[in-house]
Structure 1
Amino acid sequence: MTLPHLFDSHLHTPLCGHATGQPREYAQAALEYGLAGICFTDHSPMPAWYDAPWRMKRAQLGEYVQVVQDVQQEFAGRLDVRLGLEADFHPGTEGYVREVLAEYPWDYVIGSVHYLGAWGFDNPEFKGEYDQRDLTDLYREYYALVEGAARSELFDSIGHLDLPKKFGHADPDGMAALHALDVIAAHGLALDFNTAGWRKPINEAYPAPDLVRAAASRGIPFVLGSDAHAPAEVGYHFADAVKEIHDVGGVVVRFEGRERVG
């Protein structure tokens, strides 16, 4: 397959502690898949007490940047390789995130919500907690945090918008999601069109088709991302993603130097 104008802008590295394969292997996979470029967006450092096993440590940030720069040099002229982060929005940590983002010249920063309070709701180890929750209230709480991420002015896009559906717990209402899209649009953010959902129990990309349509109608652009944690996942289902976006009049963009391109 050749997708010569497309970037995969959501890729991880082994530094996060739960990805396999070396960064150059992700780049090689993108080249073989026919992509124009990639942006590494590994899980950003956070305070030591937050989600420590699932992200690089602050002391590893320079190593991460150097590894990506090495891949940029190796693939120069063949593949456009960019430097980004997937940063978390968790109330009270905004100052820490702001410090991390000031350290290096990032191309793209995804803002993701992975926790409701102390509960890592997308961790398979803790999915039993869904049985104890009212889903309408859960999604209302989640989208309030998404709105906080959009208002924080820290991020370029919102990651995997409807992530709580990962294990099959779909939003029973939908109104909180639409309100969050209004806030995302008002603050000029993009959405991570995340194809990893097609690899999860929900078997549906993030965002869901109705939210893709709602986002497109609000003028919110999409950034393609496989959320790859292994080289074989690079560019996963991108042809399907592009069709779904274009079918509802949506626009695909990418980022360079924190500026939207395309």
Structure 2
Amino acid sequence: MIDYTHDGHVHTPFCPHGSTDSLNAYVEQAFAQGVRTLTFTEHAPLPERFIDPTPDQDSAMALDLLPRYIEEIGQLKRDYAERLEIRVGLEIDYLPGYVDETLALLEPYRSYLDETILSQHFLQVEGELLPVDFSPETFDTLVSRIGSFEEVLRRYYEALETGLEFPWERLNVTRIGHIDLPIKYQTNYSWDRANVKDAESRLLRTIASRGFGLDFNTAGLRKAACGQPYAMAVAAEATRLGIPLVLGSDAHIAADVGADFKNMQKKATFL
């Protein structure tokens, strides 16, 4: 069963591509939306050797801000303990070729983290990591380099499946973020999901075998070329495999906390 009072994917003013909305504003919006459990999952700092390939180089929180982030969310957790369950988390990037560095960088903070999300925002093409969701233009470059939208999604699934071989439990990973992120731009292309079904199902079976859940992410509803939540198309199969689904707004502004959760509760009656 899905808990419609838990927003499990929320960003903060520590996000360099987010907003300056205060942490208290996120909490107040949670109350307004009937959210009773709030997991803050800021983009985790990236390894020093990794060069952010996005044009703005603003993908993640700076490492020197991580202790303050943990401290401020921890204080918020204490301040609202009587009214709201707040969890300290991170959204961790799977970066092929940088996994050992990612683990070494973040493992010292594990004891402060209640739960984390493992996500993939970059895809390797001929040895180069390219952004998946920065803009329609950068995504179109990705499609051109790989050959088709379907092939991008297939490779996205295959790369993520390979990434699950690593010991992410060392960073308290509990679920996989926006499993089908490339659909952010799906209406810009002609494609058939049936053509990536084999790779999709293999990935879901791997996720189930690892005991991870899925981020059931409503941000896709707020993206003009997407029009559906991330993971919606795989939700029924995931449920049959025993994979837990955790709603996440992926809010980067306070107003988006709990966004579309009530509509999801009405529509997702098959879960």
TM-score range, shorter chain: 0.7 to 0.9
Alpha-carbon distance change, 63 to 77 in structure 1, aligned in 2, over 3 angstroms: same
TM-score by length of 1: 0.87
**C-alpha deviation, 1:130, in angstroms:** 4.7
Q: Deviations over 1:12-70 (max 9, x none)?
A: 11222011111121111101222112010000011133435221111111011011112
For residues 52-201 of structure 1, the aligned pairs below 5 Å read 52-99=57-104, 100-104=106-110, 105-117=112-124, 118-124=129-135, 125-132=137-144, 133-154=147-168, 155-168=173-186, 169=189, 172=193, 173=195, 174-200=197-223, 201=225
The residue matched to 2:265 in structure 1 has which SS? helix
Alpha-carbon distance change, 231 to 148 in structure 1, aligned in 2, over 3 angstroms: same
For residues 223-238 of structure 1, the aligned pairs below 5 Å read 223-238=246-261
Whole-angstrom distance in 1 between the partners of 2:68 and 2:36:
25
1:184 touches 1:190 (CA, 8 Å); kept in 2?
Answer: yes
The residue matched to 1:111 in structure 2 has which SS? strand
Whole-angstrom distance in 1 between the partners of 2:101 and 2:192:
31
Report % sequence identity. Answer: 32
Q: Deviations over 1:184-228 (max 9, x none)?
A: 11111100000000001211001133x111111111111110000
RCO higher in 1 or 2 (8 Å CA, sep ≥ 6)? 2
The residue matched to 2:5 in structure 1 has which SS? strand
Give the match for residue 10 of structure 1.
9
TM-score by length of 2: 0.84
* Amino acid corresponding to residue 37 of structure 2 in structure 1: G
Runs (4+) of structure 1 exceeding 6 A deviation are none
Flag structure 2 segments of 5+ consecutive residues without an equivalent. none
The number of residue pairs the alignment matches comes to 245
The residue matched to 1:166 in structure 2 has which SS? helix
Superposition RMSD on alpha carbons, in Å?
Answer: 2.0
Whole-angstrom distance in 1 between the partners of 2:46 and 2:210:
24
2:4 touches 2:261 (CA, 8 Å); kept in 1?
Answer: no
